[in-house]
Amino acid sequence: MKIDIVTLFPAMLAGPLGESILGRAQAKGLVEIRVADLREWAEGRHRVTDDYPFGGGGGMVLKPEPLFRCVEALRRPGARVILLDPQGRAFGQEVAAELARAEHLILLCGRYEGVDERVREHLVDDEISIGDYVLTGGELPALVVTDAVVRLLPGALGDEAAPGKDSFGRGLLEGPHYTRPEEFRAWRVPEVLLSGDHARVARWRRAQSLWRTWRRRPDLLETAELTPEEQKLIEEFRQGKKPDA
């Protein structure tokens, strides 16, 4: 997989892209991540990439020429060009899985008041937002999308089954985790996790995942694919019964 991130501020991306799972995935050859400085495709002595909006108003708008030149230079057959923008469709685990199937992503980091509308209409294939709030630019959203996508690539994680166990992997929140010591400040690890009974542990984890989702994100249960046993547990929660500790 190849990911190109187009930005006016390449230094914002260098550190995170070289660390942890992203760094290891690149070292393994699973993904090639490149950062393109938009100014390299701007013309003139000052490499201007933005200008005042027609019709007046505050702020600056990214010009179309540098963005078109940059994308046309980077784009390969089958590439998906994505604008990171608060007006885009909401980013979630399903979208991450969709993008992880692409061979080439080009992520455009918006800035200032946004991009010339002709970029939206004639250059990008998709627009993505990571939440209903406004950031100073698209660099942080680009890192979020890249991280979420790369960790889904085969071989990126030590445990190949891990993505399916994560929160939202099955449409549910993940349950609690514990590690050593068994007792900390009089708070003990649940006995079931020390029992060695794998079937019992699996049932406990499933119940805890459902309980946490029901309490914190009940909206997720509306679309989650639940087994009859899980549906029964949800009904017990509604009747006031808690899962075993």
Pairing mode, strands 80-90 and 104-109: parallel
In the annotation, is 176 catalytic? no
In the annotation, is 86 catalytic? yes
126, 166, 174, 236: which one is catalytic? 166
In the annotation, is 151 catalytic? yes
In the annotation, is 89 catalytic? no
DSSP state of 53: P
10, 86, 98, 120: which one is catalytic? 86
Three-state DSSP string of the chain: CEEEEEECCCHHHHHHHCCHHHHHHHHCCCCEEEEEEHHHHCCCCCCCCEECCCCCCCCCEECHHHHHHHHHHHCCCCCEEEEEEEEEEECCHHHHHHHHCCCEEEEEECECCCECHHHHHHCCCEEEECCCCCCCECHHHHHHHHHHHHCCCCCCCCCCCHHHHCCCCCCCCCCCCCCCCCEECCEECCHHHHCCCHHHHHHHHHHHHHHHHHHHCHHHHHCCCCCHHHHHHHHHHHCCCCCCC
50, 85, 127, 151: which one is catalytic? 151
37, 98, 113, 174: which one is catalytic? 113
Tell me how long the chain is: 245
Residues forming the active site = 86, 113, 151, 166
